[in-house]
Structure 1
């Protein structure tokens, strides 16, 4: 095996170790461990509706995962996709409630508006980082709370249906809702959109001059500046693109899965996007596999909690192990060094 395949093998090893630990925990807490493990592994693919559940959950994870991949590739530890995803949903909900358009134009306008809102809001920490080198992790996390507060204000005072027995918005216009792609599931047209975005991001990152400048900025900003690359411009542009993707993801999730806006808490997809990006090793195409895997184990844990005596919270341990091992640079590094030495010896 060549050293260039090391990260793939390393990620697969992380997943395998995490699942082994999960199985060990199940064996400790369950009275029927083999049955529980079988439910965990098989139920997510046991029927069309369950497969649909996996894909439905993976769609927002792909959007936020792709958003975070672009930021991580520029060496920016930005976790602001959470608030941008939420605000994208709020903007799309407002357009879905208050506008009357055709069934084709209505969702397009709502989704693009949500994406633009995400891009504009994301540009703020991007400009702060590019111009004044402000810590982007701090500003992005602060923005999550700020944007959640703003979104909740609009829900409570501008969009809320006072006749409903819950803190939800008015119903969306039927023309704004996204149609289902697969009968018997809730897989919506957002799947096509996110797959197109992933392919476009891969082309942008690896086949264009701007993508080269993006990768150079992430690898070594000082060297990139010395080479004539305007790194401040690159940082702002990547924030705009990442924000658009996160905002568009929130818009599509709201219009594809709900008939009202009902998020009274941050949905969590933004932070999950960071885990998907780590699994994908900052490769846009690998976001598909990372999102599907995370959705798969979550649906499996949910089904296991319903059908056995193992709580769904067990999956948090699996995710924690994945984060720890993937972020541990020394994990399996001795093997990579051995492969590099072997390859160097062959070329002598």
Structure 2
């Protein structure tokens, strides 16, 4: 079956990953009047039948890391509901299954970590760079095509962690000088029953950061459970998130509710960068995210330097001593209180 027909039939994931089938693009309407356009392999644009000028422009992406399969399944399920007329969005959507080559290879990436390649045009030295360039172009085009009066841009980039975590679900809010931490975004996190959010304080060229920095999008990298093969994910554990995501798509506006004790908020205290091949941690490679270390604990070392936890202690997130030299080896974080205003900020 031709790729485009597979997508029309609701098989967005299957069509995306069938690399033996030529990439056939096109646009059509489904039974509900919703307009669909396959703009590249794995990128499906959805436009409501009627636009009143108050709609959001929402990107929901998955598969930036090919072995993180539960988010890919969630995007496939959402796409299928829309394509079969079972769900009618009221906002413009860009649904993404990002990296079919890595998905088929059951690996995070092919040559380079693609989620460090979203900082403008890359030299096309490998497939990861090529796909990152294509995705940035798709984001540019999608946001440029907005017909909304007041631009309300969102980007939820869905991942899952490669290790255990003290929080089964959590989000990372990328740093930007733009107002990208709205109370509406944090209310969504609570509605989705996400356990924690981490507030970055330095720029990092991730996919969500690209949308935040360049378009002021309410953007998050969302970690939804732990990596598992297709068919081995217990999506019931993500039901609250999935329900909130569907509500984001079909409701004109989500209720602005906030219960401060239901969301753990962390601020980044430090980023440890791998400077040499001598970099190592003192804890096991499978140490869970958000493991807390008391003040003065030796966390790791690099050539000529040792890293100890700071006053008050710190928790470790995304520890990976095997990254390339010059890349982030971990984040060190600490819980914080926030002001729930139009823009959410850390309390002094």
What TM-score do you get using the length of structure 1 for normalisation?
A: 0.25
Higher strand share: 2
Higher helix share: 1
- Tell which structure's C-alpha radius of gyration is larger: 1
Higher relative contact order (CA 8 A, sep 6+): 1
